[in-house]
Chains A and B, each alone.
Chain A
Amino acid sequence: MQPIPVDAEVVDFSVGEFGANIIETIEGDVATVNPLVNESVGGSLVIGRILDSLVTMDPKTGEVIPNLAKSWEISEDNLQYTFHLRKGVHWSDGEPFTAEDVVFTWQTFFAKQSDPETGEVMTGEDGRPLYRYNSRSTFGQQINGQEPQVEMLDDFTVRFTTPEVYAPFLLFGGGVDILPKHILYDAYEDGTLMDQWSLQTAIDEPWKIVGLNMFVLETYRPGERMVFARNPNYWKVNTQGERLPYVDRVISKIVPDGNSSNVAFAQGQTDFESIGPDNVAWVRRGEERFDYTVLDMGPSSSTNFIWFNLNPGKNAEGEPFVAPYKFDWFSDKRFRQAISYGINREGIIRGVFFNRADILNGYVSPKRKFWYNDEVRKYPYQVERSRALFQEMGFEYRGQELFDAEGRRVEFTLITNSNNGLRVEMATVFKENMAAIGVDVELQFLDFNTIVTKISDAFDYEACMLGLGGGAPDPYAGKDILMSGGRMHFWYPQQQSPATEWEARIDELMREVGRHTEVEVRKEYFNEVQAILAEQQPFIFLVSAKEYAGYRNRWRNVEPTPLGGVTWNLESLWSEVSE
């Protein structure tokens, strides 16, 4: 065990007792512990227990706060970020943590493939360099295709230079998990970096997985559980100068899905749990018997929405993706607005979610209070207004059925994924709502892969209902959804140039959101993005489900926050040790 760091962070929670264990569940087997390879949520959770970053997000306010970097300066031209690292911090195996580790981490992202004979950097067909290790950061940390530069000023100072002003860098770049150079350098050199820290390592040699966060991996049993032990060299202490965390171990049982996870918690088998709105009622029934508490954490960051296929392109056989007359309907904003007025969101909340959801008016969930713009156009349930809009477009009602100006029945097919029960129910309510305004909707429930293939590759669908979860802490993370060239610009992805003026305007605004560092300025631009989306309704937003979290009452220092959940202060949680 190394001495407590000079720059140890003192955590201001009541002093507790050491030695308890936490039992929890992970949904689905974790695929790897290597952050360069990981693509799954479960994997991120596990890696986040072991590895740590320079900065982090305040779970109460959402601001960027110091972590392994105790402070930083941003140059006047907003291009240079100088981070001052905490001194005296050690890796879990006892080696000192220095700026070299930070530089090494970034080096792995942008290492190029070079020709073994000439030593020149190899390039792909598009003329861009080929990377040795293709990780999420390799491309995700580039700024408009350019790499930020990193240099070490001294052992505890690192300077990053971004190629242009890029506001999210502090959070995105500073939030990168730092890798131990002393462990991984050889693998980096010999080209086996991506194979390191696999599950086989986790089984055979878990001690090789070295980190700076509060836990290290102790054992991994495939399909059963991962056990984390406290990192003996962790850099946070309590107010009495004792090294945290209080718990000895975290035992994460691997379960197939969220329902099994909720069952385990409801039977008193686990300590902490996040609970879906559809399960909360029966989980609450065990509160007294198993001595736990279920909390309403307010709105989640998830969003649910419907959109129409606005892709004007043709498939390989030369057939348009969407029948031309339907394309004309869908691309008229009045049509989308009329649909939006015709949706009874209150009804969905009552009937599907039993009041455990909120109306969603715009792109941002009310959870992200800071970026949420409430001043956007809203679409309350107004059947008359919906009908009026259709009539304005030249549509007419024959009896209860709606026909367009050429006498074609207004009907379309909505697809959604069959394995999400709540979504299937929402789609059913939507169909009924649409019938009330004369529109005939056919529902198709498909498996998730089919849906993704249809909306991102084949484009043979008319309308789709999906949701986004997680919720990005910075609005710029949504650029792939909001910008017209984005891969996830759902209604018409990967446009060569913006198809409409309003999409061009969103592109412009989003570039500004990325380019400015003053929060108020960014907010103004992003507010306009939200206003355009609300006016144009390319996404017809439905509801945002609420979040629930449970914890066993034996735990102390539990201070849940909407952004951080129940376990954000895991290092300070403690429980009396029974026995």
Chain B
Amino acid sequence: MIAFILRRLLTLIPLLLGITLLVFLLMSLAPGDFLTPVRAQRDVPAELIQAIQTEFGLDQPWYVQYYKWLGNVLQGNLGHSWAFKVPVADLIGQRIWATFLLSLCAFVFSWAIAIPLGVLAAVYKDSIFDRVSAVLAYAALSIPEFFLALGLVFFAAQTGWFPLGGATSIDYDYLSFGGKMLDRAHHLVLPTLALGIGSIASIMRIMRANFLDSMRAGFVATARAKGLRERVVMFKHVLRNAINPLVSAFGFAFSSLLSGALMVEIVLQYPGLGQLMYQSILREDQFVVLASVMLGCSMLVLGNLLADILLAWSDPRIRLERKK
């Protein structure tokens, strides 16, 4: 098991190297750099621009810059944000919790709704409930996240029931602890809906299919033959087996915890990592983009790893070490 985990983690190294090299190359191909908007300001002296350029090594070819950056990263220094003039790690630290909280809410929200709905749809297969939920699920799946987010912005603007953007109200700092929690929750409602609705539909469909498959399995007939009650058969035997494939879905959900919210954060002006990353790309704030990409990539690998481990734990038929 440990060897397996180590092997997985080792594959992360070439992956990260390749991805960061690609980002570096692409950003060097894009016209201008983070100083370009500054160059268009009339009151910034040419000498200052020259000095900053030398300081950040912008006058050197991209591979030299990459080499230097890599050297810094290996020493644990992710570099400075060009735009914000603070260490990249600090900048990401400022935002990561907001995104994490949002993704977690969306995750809990979608799974908590999707699993029971999927089970019910399977148990009452071909009923009105099953059909309606299928139609709704396909509808939800076909609406792009950003479009849903735009719709929610419109809804909030029309009704005034929910705040437009932000993660806290302006009086947040003067609220009681409970008030702060409620305020945060209030701000999370729309982004959670925008992010969660799409996955409700997909997870519900997966759950329903799995559940149906398991219901037809031989052990279900055995259980019924033993005279177990229908409820015990369904929830103890079928559910336990039907949930396995969802465990790998969980791994993917984990990997997108930080990166999945990008679109929703931009449209709903939620101050998280996605918003930061988007702005950094626009500003060509290279080191922030690189750090975000690396973070996203690492989460993907770790998410898959987590899924494999969980799967091994929940399904004794899978033995990780057997492949040799």
Q: Is B226 an interface residue (CB 8 A)?
A: no
Nearest CB of A to B282, in Å = 9
Nearest CB of B to A48, in Å = 15
Q: Is B9 an interface residue (CB 8 A)?
A: no
Q: Is B170 an interface residue (CB 8 A)?
A: yes
Tell me the complex Cα distance, A111–B244, Å: 66
| A197 nearest CB neighbor, chain B only | B85
Number of interface residues of A (CB under 8 A): 52
Tell me the complex Cα distance, A24–B104, Å: 31
Given contacts A219-B173, A224-B166, A255-B165, contact A472 B269 (CB under 8 A): no
Segment at the B interface, from A271-279, A447-455, A511-519, A556-564: A447-455
Given contacts A29-B279, A256-B269, contact A449 B31 (CB under 8 A): yes
Q: Is A192 an interface residue (CB 8 A)?
A: no
Contact at A255–B269, with CB atoms within 8 Å?
Answer: yes
Contact at B165–A134, with CB atoms within 8 Å?
Answer: no
- Residues of A close to B37: CB separation below 8 A: 448-449, 452
Q: Is A203 an interface residue (CB 8 A)?
A: yes
Number of interface residues of B (CB under 8 A): 43
Q: Is A37 an interface residue (CB 8 A)?
A: yes
Tell me the complex Cα distance, A194–B82, Å: 13
Contact at B170–A222, with CB atoms within 8 Å?
Answer: no
Given contacts A131-B51, A136-B43, contact A223 B276 (CB under 8 A): yes
Within 8 A of A (CB), among B282-321: 284
- Residues of A close to B55: CB separation below 8 A: 134
Given contacts A134-B52, A449-B37, contact A481 B42 (CB under 8 A): yes
Contact at A477–B271, with CB atoms within 8 Å?
Answer: no
The proximity string for A residues 376-401 relative to B, scoring 1 for CB distances below 8 Å and 0 otherwise, is 00000000000000000000000000
B84 in complex: contacting residue of A199, A254, A452, A488, CB < 8 Å? A199
- Residues of A close to B271: CB separation below 8 A: 221-224, 254
Nearest CB of A to B174, in Å = 10
- Residues of B close to A193: CB separation below 8 A: none
Within 8 A of B (CB), among A456-483: 456, 468, 470, 472, 477-478, 480-481
Q: Is B237 an interface residue (CB 8 A)?
A: no
Contact at B39–A139, with CB atoms within 8 Å?
Answer: no
- Residues of B close to A139: CB separation below 8 A: 45-48
- Residues of A close to B272: CB separation below 8 A: 223
Tell me the complex Cα distance, A468–B55, Å: 28
The proximity string for B residues 26-53 relative to A, scoring 1 for CB distances below 8 Å and 0 otherwise, is 0000111000111111111111100110
Nearest CB of B to A145, in Å = 9
Tell me the complex Cα distance, A255–B271, Å: 10
Q: Is B168 an interface residue (CB 8 A)?
A: yes
| A139 nearest CB neighbor, chain B only | B45
Tell me the complex Cα distance, A448–B34, Å: 12
Q: Is B86 an interface residue (CB 8 A)?
A: yes
- Residues of B close to A453: CB separation below 8 A: 31-32, 36
* Interface pairs A-B: 6 shortest CB-CB: A223-B271, A449-B32, A139-B45, A134-B51, A139-B47, A450-B31
A contacts, CB < 8 Å to B: 23, 29, 31-32, 34, 37, 39, 131, 134-136, 138-140, 194-195, 198-200, 203, 219, 221-225, 227, 251, 253-256, 260, 263-264, 267, 447-450, 452-453, 456, 468, 470, 472, 477-478, 480-481, 487-488
A-B contacts, 29 listed (Cβ < 8 Å) = A23-B170, A32-B85, A39-B38, A131-B51, A136-B45, A138-B48, A139-B45, A139-B46, A224-B166, A224-B168, A251-B170, A255-B165, A263-B157, A267-B157, A447-B31, A448-B36, A448-B40, A449-B30, A449-B32, A449-B36, A450-B32, A452-B37, A452-B40, A453-B32, A453-B36, A468-B42, A477-B43, A481-B42, A488-B42
